[in-house]
Structure 1
């Protein structure tokens, strides 16, 4: 009986492990999505890392492969545009611009440059005028925050021996800034509702006076 129990436990553990390994990577971005970043650095960055602004636009999505156009502005005012292809399944993530969407605490994804990265917390933070649920993780050099629903980077803080770099989202079309803490669609729906109620009340008052 004990032997059967042990075999059952082992089989269950193996199946759970396989389920984790074979879990589907979900791509949360679509063609046309774009996001812009404000970048600050201190110290002396390596050549090509003295970035002060960046923009990433999704040009194409094919399965787990995402083609992105990245434009960066350097401290001397010059700009450079490049197109790269990311693959969320194989770990080709660039500087972790985009990771699999909808990751939760304890979930792990693969980055071919640093290996496995595990989500350490999920919390709500405000970015580009809206409250977003973000996934947080850290490597030996960088602390990351990604928008959970889409997997796009919203903030990164890196520390290197010669310099530090802080990147934070400034503008995006992926979500809209909130109005009085509400989603724009909800806000305008409420506004229309209030306008209708006021109109009805005014009409009733006018009728009673007649």
Structure 2
């Protein structure tokens, strides 16, 4: 065989991956079981923490949504010149306490009736919303004034001020998740809305 041909054959042999032969070994059953146990242990420790973080995130997001709704209602009242409110009522199902909400506009000193819908009354600006349907396990737990008295709505006037008669400010809306984590949204009499 010529030197050139011999060199070409050796080059090709080097490029072909080695095949498993009798002297090479794979993974033992013990090694595979050990890897599975380690992965399962890491998952068992990490998953509950991840689920808790997801619930806290949903609660924080639900509180942020409520703060956004209050600001939206305040803006609607200021731009239209008519009083608007976020009205709360007890949820029709699910854990208690639970509140759902909708946005309404006052017309001729009268608020829409509880049974009215956006289709039957133009002053009902949206259907009832339950945070639990949007953020699994999260709910509006309560709306209270500083004295701890339950409040059913937050009303804004054309100047953007919150004008709930007889309420002591700030009003505090509490959003909670299924494991008890809570976030609050405060509404001040001058109209300030914040998530502390």
TM-score strictly above 0.5: no
Question: Based on CA coordinates, which of the two structures has the bigger radius of gyration?
Answer: 2
Higher strand share: 1
- Indicate the structure with greater helix content: 2
Q: TM-score, normalised by structure 1?
A: 0.28
- Structure number with greater CO (CA < 8 Å, separation at least 6) is 2
